[in-house]
Amino acid sequence: MQLQKNISLKKFNSFGIDCIARDFVIFKSNNELIEIAESFQNSILDSHFILGGGSNILFTSKKIDCIVLKNELCGIQLLRENEEAFFVAVAAGENWHQFVLTCIENGWAGVENLSLIPGNVGASPIQNIGAYGVEIKDVIESVEAYHIADKCFQTFSAAELDFDYRDSIFKSRWKNQFIISKVIFRLNKVPNFKISYGSIDAELEKMGIQTLSIRAISDAVIRIRSSKLPNPALIGNAGSFFKNPSILKQDFDQLKIQFPEIIGYTNKNGSIKIAAGWLIEKAGWKGFREGDAGCHANQALVLVNYGNATGSEIFTLSEKIIESIHKEFGILLEREVNIY
């Protein structure tokens, strides 16, 4: 364990925002995490920031005036299996996409639709990440996390985590109380292919796939995402910046009269989920650029840093988009990216 002072976080966040951490420390094992928590107990309890892959964060301040804990826990282990599933333990610091590729290699089904999502495994249950008809709650068995105040590791079943759309108990009632160390996944032996959402089926046809497999679906998702989403290594971004909003069916029907081409999907509760990217593009923001802050030319849902934009400039652009969508459609967008 080595505490570092005044460290730039530019290379640790996918937006490439230059923010200074007053105190910065990396932990690579549970023992190191315990040592840090005990050594800086008062500081961590007062204020701390857990940094994983840095792919879902926008720094709007020039300095983080607290201790930043960089999670680099690693390891993937097959714990057990039964007739239907494999149970796989994955350390929170593992790269999400690399874990998905490991699943593909081993024939562990269930996360292939979540290929190429940026970030680390530890963020997946916090955010309840999802794409192309699959959410992480569908495949989580349990989560192990370190309780900062009680100085102990606890294990929670998926049912205890109050999963919702891009949400979990770790973002609400338990916010800043736990540090996720491990996620246990329940992965299928017999795949349950989901290809109707988005354009996966069309992409598979374009690829000439005649026999479905989790590898084929993963490859199709990678091709789709690569064609639409900018590479953070080339253009700073955090993927989808806004959540897809849900509205009442009667409100959707009214919008459908005015905008016949509006895209919506029926939720289990009967409400309609609207494609936020469609709303933003329809309002004319796609490809918009102001200085180095912009709305990507290929995917309106993605805000980007073309080089030297500040977090505040990107946040201001998001405010303008939210106001514009509310004015034109009467819908209030919510950010998916965490603002700090």
Positions marked catalytic = 166, 240, 336
pLDDT in tens, 16-39: 999 999 999 999 999 999 999 888
CA 298 to chain centre: 20
pLDDT in tens, 224-237: 999 989 999 899 99
- The b/e string for 245-274 (b: 16+ C-beta within 10 A; e otherwise) is bbbeeeebeebeeeeeebebeeeeeebbbb
Q: Which residues of the chain have pLDDT under 50?
A: none
**Does 158 reside within a domain?**
yes
Give residue 47's pLDDT. 84
Q: What is the CATH number of the domain that holds 108?
A: 3.30.465.10
Q: How many domains is the chain partitioned into structurally? A: 3
**Does 327 reside within a domain?**
yes
Give residue 185's pLDDT. 98
Burial class of residue 192, CB neighbours in 10 A (0-12, 13-18, 19+): exposed
Note down the domain range covering 320. Answer: 236-339
Give residue 268's pLDDT. 87
Give residue 228's pLDDT. 87
- Strand, helix or coil for residue 8: strand
CA angle 244–250–254, rounded 5-degree value: 85
Residues 251 and 293 occupy one common structural domain: yes
Query: Rounded to the nearest 5°, which phi and psi values hold at 254?
Result: -65, -40
Q: What is the CATH number of the domain that holds 12?
A: 3.30.43.10
Bridge partners (DSSP) of residue 155 are 144
Residues 37 and 96 occupy one common structural domain: no
**Does 293 reside within a domain?**
yes
Give residue 1's pLDDT. 72
Give residue 237's pLDDT. 97
Residues 59 and 98 occupy one common structural domain: no
Residues 66 and 81 occupy one common structural domain: no
Bridge partners (DSSP) of residue 167 are 164
Residues 157 and 245 occupy one common structural domain: no
Q: What is the dihedral of CA 182, 187, 192, 198, to 10 degrees?
A: 20
